[in-house]
Structure 1
Amino acid sequence: MSSVLHPVGPERRATYWRRRLVAVLLLVLLGVAAALGVRALLPEASSQQAVARLDPDRVSPTLGAGTPSAEAAAATASPSATAPTSSAPERVEPCTRDALEVALTSEATAYGPGVTPRFVLTVRNASETTCSAEIGSGMRSFAVLDASGEQVWSSADCQSSTSSQDYELEPGDSRSMRTTWSRQRSAAGCPDGQPVAEAGTYTVQGSWNDVAAEPLTVTLTG
């Protein structure tokens, strides 16, 4: 202890004290430098924490799959991987002939003088499956025959429209097509000046896409 407070040696006492003071100053400077180095590292760590708070799903390149940020990123990506894809609507197949019923009706069974006969052809889906059918003036035909079986009128002779459209028919659904008969006779090419049909009983025929309906009978009374 005495050698510390009272240095002994060939040098002057002041020399020993200066050396000790220099050593103490060096130790102090080293301590300050070490403290500054530790503080210099603190902002980077704080910056990384701030980034983590702003973007909790951001995965650092040094994070592993088991870290909270990696798990959050995996949860964020999972909904897009399982998102459902849209599919095209199912195509409805055309009706087969066996699936359809074709029926012919008349507004009356007897038509008096000056009354125009009106006929209706109906196509009905009799199957248990939805299907499509082309309905329109281009798909139906009507004809009137006299008592001898001679054709006196046909809707095809003077038909001005041949339009049609596809319709989806659910089981039991139907579509109807109508026509009127002017009570005049007709011929191919629709020539003018055809005579009026005489009073009597006539057979009416109707068909859709060459599928014939059950014929019916009407009477012209004058």
Structure 2
Amino acid sequence: MSALLHPVGPEPEETYWKRRAAVLAILVVVLILLAWGISSLFNRSDDTSGTPVQVSTSPESTLSDPPTTPGTTPESTDPESTGTESTETESTPTGTESGSPGATPEATPSSTASTSATESTAPASSPATTSASPSPSSSPSPTGPVLCTASDVVVEVSGAQRVNTGRTINLNIALTSKSPCVLDFTETPFELRIYSGSDRIWSTNDCSSYRFGGQASLTPGGTWTHTIPWNTRRSLGDCQLDSRFLLPGTYVATALVSGGEPSQHVMTVLA
């Protein structure tokens, strides 16, 4: 131990310590160089194994062809595949057939540019598709006459207030409308009834010749009129009338369109 700390020899002790320091420095440099060489070797191995695999941008080749590695030429797995798939598969790895890993970065931008062009082209078709779709058209407005509803029609009945039995009285029917329309008597029938209390005496529905037919054009400022004669006898249906005249009393004529508000006129039949 004494010889290690205090070298013995023909030369001064300082010389031996310098030699030891030089040897130690050389050893440290060698270790550093060795470590750097090993690190470079591993980094190069990682770069080689991490080379990006060239993948075809075509949807058909992506589904049917296996990925290729640099330096190898992909072979078609199906000799009877369509011509489109074969052409796209064989033309895609052109930039990687040089056989050296260094050629791979040059092929990658080409693939990226092709993908970018595809992505930039796809949205451009959306406006054309949208503009080509037919816009909903508004439903056409009716150009013909508007049919009256029961709520549109105002009915009024009038006539003499006294009539002798056995005589004929004329009952006047007036129709108006809140808005211009056409009243179709087939769709909206009109009826005139005559009551004595709850007893139904006479009705236009008891004979076809009494009923209104056709159409009537109604306006808010105009009045459609019609006169119905009644001979103070009871109707029996099928256009038949009772042979006897009515007894003196009070009778009420009620006019209405189906579903609408009725109008009444009170009459007194005298002997």
After TM superposition, the score normalised by the length of structure 1 is 0.50
Alignment of 1:53-72 (within 5 A): none
Equivalent position of 2:183 in the other structure = 133
Matched, 1:158 2:210: no
Q: 2:149 aligns with which of 96, 103, 128?
A: 96
Gaps of 5+ in 1: 1-88
CA separation in 2, counterparts of 1:204 and 1:163? 16
Pairing 1:118–2:188 present: no
Q: 1:96 to 1:192 in 2, by over 3 A?
A: closer
Aligned residue pair count: 129
Conservation of the 8 A alpha-carbon contact between 2:234 and 2:242: no
Q: Does the C-alpha gap of structure 1 residues 151 and 123 become closer, same or farther in structure 2, counting only changes over 3 Å?
A: same
Q: Secondary structure of the equivalent of 1:156?
A: helix
- Partner-residue secondary structure (3-state), 1:98: coil
Equivalent residue letter for 2:176: R
Higher normalized helix content (fraction of residues): 2
User: Is the Cα contact below 8 Å between 1:199 and 1:220 reproduced in 2?
Assistant: yes
* 1:165-176 mapped onto 2 (5 Å cutoff): 165-176=214-225
Q: For structure 2, which runs of at least 5 residues remain unmatched after alignment?
A: 1-141
Q: Which residue of 2 aligns with 1:216?
A: 265
Deviation at 1:174, TM superposition (A): 2.1
Q: CA deviation at 1:141?
A: 1.7
Per the TM alignment, residue 114 of structure 1 is displaced from its structure 2 partner at its CA by 4.2
Residue aligning to 2:249: 200
Q: Following the alignment from structure 1 to structure 2, what is the Cα–Cα distance between the partners of residues 170 and 113?
A: 37
SS at match of 1:187: strand
- Which residue identity is paired with 2:162? A
Against the structure 1 CA distance between its residues 96 and 210, is the aligned structure 2 distance closer, same or farther, given a 3 Å change threshold? closer
- Kindly tell me: are residues 91 and 120 of structure 1, through their superposed partners in 2, closer, same or farther at Cα, counting changes over 3 Å? same
Once the two structures are TM-superposed, the CA of residue 218 in structure 1 deviates from its matched residue by 0.1
Counterpart residue identity of residue 247, structure 2: E
Aligned position for 1:48:
none
The DSSP-based 3-state class of the residue aligned with 2:198 is: coil
| Aligned residue type for 1:94 | L
Contact 1:92 1:168 in 2 (8 A): no
Identity over aligned pairs, percent:
19
Q: 1:160-188 CA distances to partner (integer Å, 9 max, x unpaired)? A: 26562233333322212221111111122
- Which protein has the larger Cα radius of gyration, Structure 1 or Structure 2? 2
Instruction: Between the two structures, name the one with larger relative contact order (CA 8 Å, sep ≥ 6).
Output: 1
Residue 117 to residue 210, structure 1, CA distance change in 2 (3 Å): farther
Superposed CA offset, 1:35-73 (max 9, x none): xxxxxxxxxxxxxxxxxxxxxxxxxxxxxxxxxxxxxxx
User: How many angstroms apart in 2 are the aligned matches of 1:214 and 1:162?
Assistant: 17
Task: Report the 3-state secondary structure (helix = DSSP H, G, I; strand = E; otherwise coil) of the residue aligned with 1:194.
Answer: strand
Instruction: Report the CA distance between 1:145 and its aligned residue.
Output: 1.1
TM-score by length of 2: 0.42
Q: Which amino acid in the other structure matches residue 93 of structure 1?
A: V
Q: 2:195 aligns with which of 129, 132, 145?
A: 145
